[in-house]
């Protein structure tokens, strides 16, 4: 995958260092949520435990935009000095880890939507008799739209078929066509 340059705001304090991954309020006081990236600890396929915090790290395509954003964090209580907030260019491995966590969270959201969609349906596996919806796997088969010459891919993916599979025996339980026009 080809990555362009991305920047993030880094807090460089002794006891509180890491990239900014959001802000929160506690007792009417604003705090910054700081997340440290340890990309060496996670192989290429692993998703870290703090996946939500890493996925929420604010990234910027322009360094000047990130520098302007620093001014918004001056009122945060857990930042002792605004000089400790610096803009850093993310390395390839940091970008890859953030991107992996964001993809994981998107998949998790999609799975929760499917769970709500199929919540009232009573599925039963004909092969093993499994009835537990939490033990079902939802698979989404998609196709990609190509341009008229079929040489370059257009970044549109259209859901074609949603299927439910048994997690115990991998048998297909349910299938639904959800094709939509481009």
pLDDT in tens, the chain (182 residues): 455 789 999 988 877 888 988 888 888 888 888 888 877 777 777 777 788 888 999 999 999 999 998 888 877 878 888 888 899 999 888 888 899 889 888 888 877 777 777 777 787 888 888 777 666 666 666 555 555 555 555 555 555 677 777 777 777 777 777 655 44
Instruction: Print the domain residue range for 36.
Output: 7-101
Q: Is the pTM of this model over 0.85?
A: no
Whether the CB-CB separation of 44 and 102 falls below 8 Å is answered with no
Q: 91 and 135 share a domain?
A: no
Q: Are residues 97 and 130 in the same domain?
A: no
Do residues 75 and 22 both lie within one domain?
yes
In DSSP notation, 60-126 reads BSSHHHHHHHHGGGTT-TT-S-GGGEEEEEPPHHHHHHHHHHHHHHHHHHHHHHHHHHTTTS----T
Domain stops at, among 47, 68, 101: 101
Q: Is residue 114 part of a domain?
A: no
Query: How many separate domains does the chain show?
Result: 2
């Amino acid at each position: 995958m080809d990555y362009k340059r991305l920047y993030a705001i880094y807090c460089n304090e002794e006891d509180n260092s890491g990239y900014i991954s959001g802000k929160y309020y506690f007792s009417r006081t604003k705090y910054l949520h700081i997340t440290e990236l340890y990309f060496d600890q996670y192989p290429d396929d692993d998703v870290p435990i703090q996946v939500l915090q890493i996925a929420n790290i604010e990234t910027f395509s322009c360094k000047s935009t990130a520098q302007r954003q620093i001014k918004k964090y001056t009122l945060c209580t857990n930042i002792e000095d605004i000089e400790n907030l610096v803009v850093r260019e993310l390395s390839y491995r940091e970008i890859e880890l953030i991107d992996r966590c964001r993809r994981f969270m998107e998949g998790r959201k999609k799975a929760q939507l499917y769970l709500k969609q199929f919540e009232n349906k009573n599925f039963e596996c004909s092969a093993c008799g499994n009835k537990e919806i939490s033990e079902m796997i939802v698979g989404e088969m998609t196709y990609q739209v190509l341009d008229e010459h079929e040489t370059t891919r257009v970044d549109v993916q259209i859901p074609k078929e949603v299927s439910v599979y048994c997690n115990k025996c991998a048998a297909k339980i349910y299938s639904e066509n959800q094709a939509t026009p481009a």
